[in-house]
């Protein structure tokens, strides 16, 4: 009985992967707009009954593909233990994000699908992404020695800009003169991302030093100046 159960489980995993592979192929060939239950069943050779049983709906199957392919949900990050190692880690991470998304046309198209669709399946997928994102930001902030709220804006801008520009590159070859559909353009963009990370690390280091030494921060000095002016 146990052997039969294991075999059935393996059969289900193989069938699910077959359907996910079919989705990737179909999205690249025809876009996500034309995907329907009958087309997926015909392309994969899997019955509609099993598609509904395993994924609930076509949206559930599409979301499962995104879940399996999404960089932030699947990458295994080894957060450095020291602040000195953090810049190199972050630069490498964003390079991997760019490479992963640029090399996955089906995922790029399904990110567009996410933006154009609203349902419970996508709401749950969004919650999973948000949870993973907050966990990563929190871990980076801890090593950097700064509050999470100081890391989150930069992380948000960088990840969102990368996703937007990679997707946009399929429709517009240039953005502000940068060739966003070519390696040369992305080398230029990644160089700027490196500079932003270095700048953030430098500024946060100064803030940490000021706090430890008891010297007033820029914000503290500004607030003190405003208070004096209000009293005069």
Residue 76 has a pLDDT of 87
Query: How far is residue 165's CA from residue 142's CA, in Å, rounded to a whole number?
Result: 29
**Mean local confidence (pLDDT), 34-59:** 93
Half-sphere exposure of 63 (CA within 13 A, CB side): 21
Residue 220 has a pLDDT of 46
List the one residue out of 41, 67, 187 whose CA is nearest residue 124: 67
Residue 222 has a pLDDT of 47
Q: Is 215 helix (H, G, I), strand (E, B) or coil?
A: coil
Residue 209 has a pLDDT of 76
Token pair of 19, please?
């359907």
Percent of the chain scored above 90 by pLDDT?
Answer: 69
Residue 229 has pLDDT above 70, yes or no: no
**Mean local confidence (pLDDT), 186-198:** 98
Residue 24 has pLDDT above 50, yes or no: yes
Of the candidate ranges 38-42, 102-106, 111-115, 142-146, the one whose mean pLDDT is the lowest = 111-115
The residue whose two tokens read 């003190």 is 224
Domain spanning 6-67: CATH 2.40.10.220:
no
Residue 227 has pLDDT above 60, yes or no: no
CA torsion, points 188, 193, 195, 201, in degrees to nearest 10? Answer: -170
């Amino acid at each position: 009985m146990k052997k039969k159960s294991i075999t059935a489980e393996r059969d289900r995993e193989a069938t699910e992967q077959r359907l996910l592979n079919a989705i990737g192929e179909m999205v690249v060939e025809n876009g996500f707009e034309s995907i329907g239950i009958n087309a997926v069943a015909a392309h994969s050779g899997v019955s509609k009954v099993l598609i509904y049983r395993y994924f609930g709906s076509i949206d559930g199957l599409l979301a499962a593909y995104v879940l399996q392919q999404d960089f932030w949900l699947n990458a295994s990050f080894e957060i450095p233990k020291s602040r000195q190692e953090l810049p190199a880690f972050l630069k490498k991470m964003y390079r991997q994000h760019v490479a992963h998304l640029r090399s996955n046309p089906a995922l790029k198209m399904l990110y567009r699908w996410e933006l154009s669709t609203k349902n419970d399946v996508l709401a749950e997928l969004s919650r999973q992404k948000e949870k993973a994102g907050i966990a990563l930001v929190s871990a980076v902030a801890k090593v950097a020695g700064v509050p999470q709220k100081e890391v989150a804006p930069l992380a948000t801008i960088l990840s969102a800009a990368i996703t937007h520009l990679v997707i946009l590159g399929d429709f517009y070859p240039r953005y502000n003169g940068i060739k966003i559909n070519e390696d040369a353009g992305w080398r230029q963009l990644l160089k700027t991302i490196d500079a932003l990370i270095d700048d953030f690390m430098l500024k946060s280091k100064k803030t940490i030093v000021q706090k430890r030494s008891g010297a007033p921060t820029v914000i503290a000095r500004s607030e003190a100046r405003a208070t004096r002016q209000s009293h005069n």
